[in-house]
Each structure stands twice: as structure tokens, then as C-alpha cells.
Chain A
Amino acid sequence: MTLKRGESLLLTLGIPVVLLVFFAEVHVLPASTRKPVNFLAPGILALAVMSTSMVSLGIATGFERSYKVLKRLGTTPLGRPALLAGKMAAVVLIEIIQAIVLVAVALAIGWRPGGNGLEAIGVIALGTVAFSGLGLLLAGTLKAEVNLALVNGLYLVLLLAGNMIIPLSRFPAWMATLAKALPAAALSEGLFHSLNGGTAIPAWAWLVLVAWAIAAPVAAGIAWKWE
């Protein structure tokens, strides 16, 4: 159903592919690597994870909540845990499709990854849990329209401050420090190190990701309202 919606397809695949190809080929943004695609590919993979697990999941859940679909399904034998599991399974499935498409495009424009794939999967899993928690926290507490606006705004802020297309090294120190506390920068940093030669992921990135992966779902669980 997610992939049937045009706006969702644009968000989960269209924007990441366009950003990857455009900024890899048109050198208007500063890059921290000799070949821009080496910096952009992990960053855009992080963006894809954020698009699916926070934006797409959060907006769809927010509207389902406002339509009282979630409330109604909560009293069927499907049950609330299975409903959540189904949503998370859909997120993982879409992320797999995103990864296949984005890696294929990145390889086609010259990316040559190397490093620790398992570590990258671990980083993506933590990022998925953290962003899903954030998406559900907003979807479960705000009106659908407010949630829609806020999630889109957050997406833009995290895209710019998430080390995805602009390296944090180009940020003023105070802004970089602030950005490092957010899950987007930690996710993209983790993917950059695990996919570009397998250099060690900085401890701050692990810490930030783990903290958000625990705090966001717990907060969503506590603050959730059915309507």
C-alpha cells in the first residue's frame, strides 16, 4: 500500500535517487572525499532510512490514527503488537528495496564500497528503530495535519544537518556539536565508516544511535494516544 501511493514512492525512492545522482555529478556541494559519490552514497542511504522509518511511517500512521483505523483494529484479533509488527515489517521491506536501488545507482556512477556490511546493517537497524520511534511519537500525539507539517520540516532539517549531503566538517563547531546529538548525523557517520573502507565508527555515533533507539520508542509507547 505504501509503494502504491505516489507521494510515498517519491519520498522513499525518487528524492534519494535524484539527490544522489545530481550532487554526485554536479559538484556544487562540498564533499569530504575525493569522489563526491563516496560521501554521498552512505549519506543518501541514511536519508532513505530516515524517509521510510520516520517520514513515511509517521505520516501514514498519523492519518490512520486520525481516521480511527488504528483504534478500530486494536480490538480485532489482529491485535496491537501484530499491527506494529506489520508496520515495522513493511518498513524493513521498503528499506531493502531502497538499498538495492540506491546501491545499484551509486555503483553505476562510480561508488566502490568496501568495509563491514554487517556493521552497516547494525547501524541501519539502530537508525530504523530510532527514526520509527520518533515517527510514532509524533504520529501518536499530534493531529494528523500538524504531524504532517512537523515531520516534513524535521526531514528537511535533518537532511541539511544530518551529514548526508553536506559534511559536518563544513559546519561551525557549535552547529556540528548540536548536529552530532541527532540520530541523522550518527546514522550517516556510521554508514560512511562502515561502507567506505571499514574504518572504525566513532564512539559518539554508536552512543547517539543507541540512545535514540531506546529513548524514542519508549517515549512513543508512553505518550501514545489512540485518538
Chain B
Amino acid sequence: MDKPTGSNGGSPAVSCVDVTVAYGHTIAVDNLSFEASRGKILAILGPNGAGKTSTVESLEGYRVPQRGQVRVLGHDPAKGIKQLSPSIGVMLQEGGVHPMMSPRDAAELFAGYYRAAMDPGEIIGLVGLEDVARTPYKRLSGGEKQRLSLGLALMGRPIVVFLDEPTAGVDPQGRLGIRQVILQLRSQGTCIILTTHELPEAERLADEVLILDRGKKVMQGTIHELLATSQGNTSVRFHTSAAVDIHALARAIGTSPGEIIEEAQASYRVDGDATPGRIAAITSYLAEHDIFMDRLTTGTVSLEEAYLSLIGSPVQ
């Protein structure tokens, strides 16, 4: 099996076609189709119960879908995990290492499973665990456990990596290190499937996002495409000294009341283009009503806002 080359051509590294996963009468994944390519980071997002774990576990070979076709590097993971396992890396959300085992012992154990394994010491260094290399797993901090899990996922120089909440519970410095490792993997041509609740992390890392809700695909596209789906991709935010009549403000600035959101008490967001004219109209309205304004900001809609806008709407 060929190894990462940095190329991005050919068939997708990961694909799901019309996949349905059910537990009894509960449908966890409903007729889902998507693809992911080498050299790209795909973030799978969705609220709890959206079907993220069932989807990823089908790709990892832990679950057999009731319907549809799952392929990872051309193999059906449920039937061909033996052929597939040397080329994939899996980082679980938590656990995966015996509590008494040190990072060094775990790295040496995992290195023994792969023909083309990285050097255990190199892995320990890559994820910055040199100082705790001999510390039992149960005594590591949450962030150190995450970094070890990431390192073990990379041991076999994988072509496809599945990362489940890789930065959860990790301190800012640790996050930076994990991000650097993930971006380095991408530059080497690895396909990275990332599941996370941390939308800023997805925004920083992902080339594409797949949003699931109640087992169905809500959308798949680039971050830019996702942001474009929200109501306008820029907004004006401001805080005021008193409550504002949203309908009156909407009339004054020439927009619909639905585009003005009271995010907190006396804290507003106006979706739409943040033009100088609009800002002038807002401040003029407030001046006429003797309302003070502070903390005026303009900017693009964040991934979190775009995500909530999609998830809050009825599933298509």
C-alpha cells in the first residue's frame, strides 16, 4: 500500500455512500454520503446525538452500517481492517492506554505493531512528552494524555487519521503543538478526519466541514462556503446603555427586524454588510433616542454563528 506523497489526486481517501447506521429502532446515521481527500482536513461537526461517533466508528471498522457503502483507501473497514490498519491512525477521545503504562512503554508497544513504525523516541518528542516519558499514564494531565494518544495514532505513518476531540482539555500551549502536528500531517498528504465540538479549532484547522444533525447531513463544504450560508457574512455588534426597539431600528437602517439579534441584554448584532453608511445609520438612530453606545465592532460571522444558524434551522 502506497504511503503519503503529498498529492491530492485520484479517488477519495474516505467515502460514505448512502450509509445508514441504526441501533434497534433508533437511526444514528441516516443515508449519509460524503468524501474526504488526501492532504485535506475534514472536520465533522454536530450537536450531541448528531451521528458523528457512529459515522467515524463505521470508518474505523467498529460498526457495520445497516445500509450503504463505506470505503477507506478502497477497503471496507468492517471486512478489511487487517489490510487497512497499517495505513490508518486512530485517536480516541479518551483512554486507549493501560493506566500503568508510561508514554515511552506505550510508544514502544505500538511501534511493535507496525512494519514502518516511527521511532518511539521521535514520537514522544513530536508530541512534546519528553519530560513525562516514564510517568504512568494515569498520572498524566488531560492534555498530556491527548498528546500521547495523538502520537500513538501517528506511529504507523498513516495515510488516513481519525482524530476525536484532539484538543479537548488541552492548555493553549499544548493546543498549539497539536495544531502544528496536524498541519504538518496535512502537508505530508495525510487525510485527516477530525470530530470536534470546538468550533474555533475547526475554523483554524479544517479545509472542509461536514455538519450533521440527527443523523443527516446538513451541509458539506469549505469553511468559506459554510460562512456564506449564514445570513450575510458580516455583522455589526454593539452594546447600549438602554434597550433598543428592534423594529424601529430596523426601519431606521433599512433592514428587516429578523437581521437584528439581541445576543444579550442591551447587546445587539446586526447581520448584513457592515458598510460605513449602515454604521452611521445605527449611531444616528441611537443619538436621536439618547442612547449611549459602547464597544462597537464589525467583522465576519464566525464559524460558530454560521454553524448555529444551520443547526437551528430545520434539517433539510
Contacts and interface: CB of A to CB of B under 8 A. Distances in A.
Chains A and B form a bound pair: yes
B292 interface: no
B204 interface: no
B62 A76 contact: no
Contacts of A64: 98
Interface residues on B, range: 20 to 34
Contact of A71 (B92, B110, B114): B92
A72 B86 contact: no
A75 B85 contact: yes
A68 B152 CA distance: 14
Contacts of A77: 82, 85-86, 113-115, 156
A72 B97 contact: yes
Contact of B88 (A72, A75, A79, A80): A75
Contact of A74 (B62, B95, B98): B62
Contacts of A76: 85, 110, 113-114, 156
Nearest to B97: A69
Interface in B67-126: 81-82, 85-86, 88, 90, 92, 94-99, 110, 113-115
A22 interface: no
Given A77-B113, A77-B156, A78-B113, A68 B92 contact: yes
Interface string B283-299: 00000000000000000
B271 interface: no
B60 A75 contact: yes
Interface residues of A, number: 14
Contacts of A74: 61-62, 81
Contacts of A71: 62, 92, 95-96
A76 B85 CA distance: 5
Given A75-B81, A76-B85, A67 B62 contact: no
A64 B100 CA distance: 11
A71 B97 CA distance: 10
A72 B97 CA distance: 8
Contacts of B88: 75
A226 interface: yes
A71 B81 CA distance: 13
Nearest to B115: A77
A72 B90 contact: yes
A226 B63 CA distance: 10
Interface in A45-78: 64, 67-69, 71-72, 74-78
B108 to A, nearest CB: 13
A221 B113 CA distance: 24
A68 B90 contact: no
B150 to A, nearest CB: 12
19 contacts: A67-B95, A67-B97, A67-B98, A67-B99, A68-B96, A71-B95, A72-B95, A75-B61, A75-B62, A75-B88, A75-B90, A76-B110, A76-B113, A76-B114, A77-B85, A77-B86, A77-B115, A79-B81, A79-B82
The 10 A-B residue pairs with the shortest CB-CB distance, nearest first, are A72-B96, A68-B95, A76-B113, A75-B90, A77-B85, A78-B113, A68-B96, A77-B113, A77-B86, A67-B95
Interface of A: 64, 67-69, 71-72, 74-80, 226
